[in-house]
Structure 1
Amino acid sequence: MSFKSLAVYPPTPVTARGTATKLSASKGKITYGNGRIAVLHDINNPGLSTAYAGHTQNVTVAKISPTGYYCASADAHGTVRVWDLVGEDQTLKGEYRAIAGRINDLEWDGESKRIIAVGDGREKFGHAFMMDTGTSTGEIIGHTKVINAVAIRHQRPFRAATAGDDTQIVFHTGVPFKYEKTIKNHTKFVQDVRYAPSGDHFASVGSDSKIFLYDGKTGETIGDFGGEGHKGSIMACSWSPDSKTLVTSAADCTVKLWDVETRTAVTSYSLGSGIHHQQVGAVWSGEADIVSLSMSGDLNVFDKRVADKPGRVIKGPQKPITSTALPSSSTFLAGTADGRVVAYSVAGDELSEARHVAGDGHTNYVSGLASAGEAGKAWSIGYDDRVREVTGSAETSAPPSTSSQPRSVAAVADGTVFVVELGWGVEVFQGGKKVGELKTKYTPGSVAAVGGVVAVGGEDDTKVHLYDWTGSELKETGVLEGNRSAVSAVAVSPDGKMIAAGETSGKIFLFDVAEKKLITSRWSFHSGRINALSFTSDSKHLASASLDTNVYIWSVEKQMRNIAIKGAAPGGVNAVTWLGEGGGGKQRLASAGADACVRVWDITFH
Structure 2
Amino acid sequence: EGPRDIALLLALQAERTYDTAEARSSLLGLLEESQSLQAFLPGHKGLVTAVAYSPDGSTFATAGRDKIFLWEAATGKRLDPPLVGHSGRILGLAFKDRSTLASCGDDQTIQIWQVGSHQRLQAPQKVDLKLSNLAFSPDGSLLAAISGKSIYLWDYPSLRLRDKTLSHASWVSSLAFRRDGVLASSSGDTITLWNPALGTKISSFSAPRDGKAHQILALAFSPRAGSQVLASAGEDGTVRLWNSTTGEPLGEPGEAHGDMVTSLAFSQDGRRLASAGRDHVIHLWDVEKEQWDSSNRHPVQTLLGQGRAIWALAFGADGHLVSGGDEGAVVLWNLAAPSRFIAKARGVTGEIDSVVFSPNGQTLFAGGKDGTLWEWDTVSQQVREKAPAHTGRIAALALQRQSLISAGGEDGRILLWDSTDLRKAPQQFERSTDSNAIPIGSLALSSDKRIVAAGDDASNGSDGRVRLWRTDTRQFLGELAHRIPGLGALALDPHGKLLATGNLRGEIQLWDVQSRRPVGKPLKGDDLNILNITSLAFNPKGDILASSRGDNTVWLWSMKSRQPLLGSPLTGAKGYVTNLSFSPEGDRIAASSLDGTVLLWDVKSRSAIGTGLKGEGSLLNVAFHPEDDSLVSGTDQSLLLFDLHYAILQAMACKIVQRDLTEAERGRFLHRDLFYGKVCPDGDKNDLTDLGKGL
Q: TM-score, normalised by structure 1?
A: 0.46
Greater RCO, 1 or 2 (C-alpha within 8 Å, sep 6+): 2
Q: TM-score, normalised by structure 2?
A: 0.41
